[in-house]
Structure 1
Amino acid sequence: MQITELIPTENLLFTHTISAGLLLILVGLILYKFPPKKINIIYGYKTVRSMKSKARWDFAQIYSAKQLIKFGAVLACLSFVGLIYHPNQNTAQLVSAALILAVVILAIYNVERALERKFKSQ
């Protein structure tokens, strides 16, 4: 049995979502291990709300890293649906793009909501 028989590389539902999930986990781990020390426009979780103060910035970096790791793992797990369900390429691209977009939006929403709750009085 060859590796290509085990992992359907032509099934974009599997390959796109697992790749994106693993990438989110990797980015989350890097951001968690090496959060930016100062507010900047190059590296880190950057939104208007996260850049209002140093305390918000520091909180947002760690919280967003955890969210990326969590949602990356969810996306990687969801990719295994592609091992069971084999849609045509257009459907697979659409579903995988929708899943990736959904987890990124959910991660951002969670971070922004956490920033709002934690720094409500400021």
Structure 2
Amino acid sequence: MNNNQILFCVSIILISVIFIAIGLFLKKYPPKEINYFYGYRSKKAMKNIEQWNYSQKKAALELIRSGILILISLVLVYFLPDGNYFTPYILFLIVIITLFPYFYTVYKIEKALKKAFTN
């Protein structure tokens, strides 16, 4: 494994640990009141306290799942080729592997909110 692949592994592990840690923290200490500082905040989530509490629980679970998925994606490292051309692609892969679960998490939470609260 070359230095770029090691950087890739460390980056992905760090990102996945952050996702999992935030999810666990949000699960253990969900915000009690609607606020603009901490918790899952979207227009739908902040509409009322019921939607707020529901979205916090859902966000915690989705963040943990996303962190685990990011960690599993680390397997890709073993299929990436070695060589000088690897450097530009490493940043692109880190961005894609990080952003996809983030946006998918937001999508899942918003979809669940829409399904649970049809008003």
Query: TM-score, normalising length from structure 1?
Result: 0.87
User: Relative to 1, partners in 2 of residues 1:86 and 1:17: Cα closer, same or farther, differing over 3 Å?
Assistant: farther
| Gaps in structure 1 of 5+ consecutive residues | none
Identity of aligned residues (%): 25
Superposed CA deviations along residues 57-87 of structure 1, whole A, max 9, x for unmatched, are 0000010010000010000110132144245
| Gaps in structure 2 of 5+ consecutive residues | none
Structure 2 counterpart of 1:35: 30
Task: Give the counterpart of 2:66 among 62, 71, 78.
Answer: 71
Query: TM-score, normalising length from structure 2?
Result: 0.89
Q: How many residues of Structure 1 are paired with residues of Structure 2 in the alignment?
A: 115
| Consecutive aligned runs of 4 or more in structure 1 exceeding 3 Å deviation | none
Is the Cα contact below 8 Å between 2:4 and 2:90 reproduced in 1?
no
Distance 2:3 2:98 in 1: 18
Counterpart secondary structure, 2:35: coil
Q: CA RMSD in A?
A: 1.6
Residue identity opposite 1:36 in structure 2: P
